[in-house]
Chains A and B, each alone.
Chain A
Amino acid sequence: MTAVAIEGVWKFYGDFPALKDISFNVDGGACLALLGRNGAGKTTLLRMLAGLSKAAKGSITILGGDARAEKTRARIGVLGHGIGVYEELSAFENLRLFARLYGIENPRQIAMEWLERTGLDRVSDGLVREFSRGMRQRLAVARAFLHNPSLLLLDEPFTALDDRAIAVLQGLLKGALAEGRTIIMSTHQLREALELATDVALINRGKLAYRGERTREMLEDPGWLYRHYGEA
């Protein structure tokens, strides 16, 4: 079952092609590590998958629907560079807001549930602006997961996490995969990502340089992919 089908996607800045004819699929339940140097086009692609911008040419089909369709967006969880929560609202209010936006029937209950799951229940009424960095990240994760998304899009999720936070996130992602969710994650942290990944895609200068399964070789030697396919 194909969760994400990207076909012939181009993205332009003016006449400059940031993404050139990208085509690949991601099966349901897979974990795709999206690799590439800075400026290669990973974030551009992820943003299109998240419905934040549109492809100039080509099509993106997510879970059988258009990326921008309301039903599709309700099944996608996004964790970008920013934590995506409001400073002047409490942890509870933030989660309740997003629960409502995602059409959850009992937003309060779900919000409290996820505060417990991320260990933030004791500070549920605390304003985010008073939170430590680790607490903010946990809240961001709660926000991304609380609506039970079938597809998770993560843009460099392990960046600037300490080892404990990394372990927590890895645990959550493993659990998600076990539940059959699909994950697409762009990353520079090769080791952490490759441990989780079932598939790998490398974007180089806007083109898809490699698409295949994550092999043993890649895990043992994370730089292997870049060395073989890194230069166009």
Chain B
Amino acid sequence: MRLKIILALSVLSGLILSWNLHTMFLKVPDELNQGAIFRIIYFHVPSAITSFAGFFLAMFCSVGYLIKKDLRFDSVAASITEVSFAFTTITLITGSIWGRIIWGIWWTWDYRLTSFFICWLLYVGYLMLRRAIDDPTTRARLCAVLSIFACVDVVIVWKSIEWFRTQHPGPVLSIRSGGGMAPGMEAPIWWNFLALMMLATVLVLIRMRQEAMQREIDTMRRYAHAF
């Protein structure tokens, strides 16, 4: 049953993505100031939202684990974190490419990129901690605590870097140049958002299956070695 859901979601998201790509490249005209590259916003913004949401979702699952002590909560938290990590990387890379084309620089310390880079580092910490602990129960417990700390920290990081950049205005990665966008241009963002969310869900579900199988293998290995 689970496999069917995964398959259905993948096919659906694949279809929507293809349709979006078609819309993006063939229907929507080049933006006035930015040219062709502005299309990157269709991936950049949804990725950013997905990766940011990941922190909070993972934290809820972590709290769930600490209360219920059910390892499945830990699987969900870990899977969400990993997928969010991938999307954070995409956000950083697309932001960087955009910056290179428009500003001529690969990187800049504008507040959003900086905050996202810190998010990326926090995710890396979580993933490293997961790999450093062998016992699944201890791993779940410690990673849950880390997840809570990271989420609280992310909120503080965003606020503080925003203040910092208000005092030290630097280059601003404003993809929305000028006011809003022409109506035809905004729709693909939301469609892509839907597609990427579905893709993220698919990846999380696949990852959760992997975690469940890994737990089974772990258990069998312990049985084999124990007595």
Chain A in direct contact with chain B (Cβ < 8 angstroms): yes
Asked whether any CB of chain B lies closer than 8 Å to the CB of A96, the reply is no
Complex interface residues of chain B between 41 and 88 (CB less than 8 A to chain A): 69, 71
Main secondary structure of the interface of B (DSSP, over half): helix
CA A56 to CA B136, docked complex, whole Å: 13
Closest to A57 in B: B69
- Nearest CB of B to A16, in Å: 4
Q: Which residues of A contact B (CB under 8 A)?
A: 12-16, 39, 56, 205
CA A110 to CA B218, docked complex, whole Å: 49
Contact (Cβ within 8 A) B222 A16: yes
Contact (Cβ within 8 A) A15 B69: no
Closest to A17 in B: B219
Q: Which residues of B contact A13 (CB under 8 A)?
A: 135-137, 222
Contact (Cβ within 8 A) A14 B135: yes
Question: Can you list, as one digit per residue, whether each of B187-219 has a CB less than 8 Å from chain A (1) or not (0)?
Answer: 000000000000000000000000000011011
Contact (Cβ within 8 A) B215 A205: no
Main secondary structure of the interface of A (DSSP, over half): loop
Contact (Cβ within 8 A) A15 B227: no
CA A13 to CA B216, docked complex, whole Å: 12
- Nearest CB of B to A42, in Å: 14
- Nearest CB of B to A158, in Å: 25
| Interface core residue of A13, A14, A16, A39 (most chain B CB under 10 Å) | A14
Asked whether any CB of chain A lies closer than 8 Å to the CB of B3, the reply is no
Asked whether any CB of chain A lies closer than 8 Å to the CB of B226, the reply is yes
Q: Which residues of B contact A15 (CB under 8 A)?
A: 71, 136, 215-216, 218-219
CA A55 to CA B219, docked complex, whole Å: 18
The 8 closest A-B pairs by CB, nearest first: A14-B136, A16-B222, A15-B219, A16-B219, A14-B218, A205-B227, A13-B135, A15-B215
CA A16 to CA B137, docked complex, whole Å: 10
Closest to A56 in B: B69
CA A56 to CA B219, docked complex, whole Å: 16
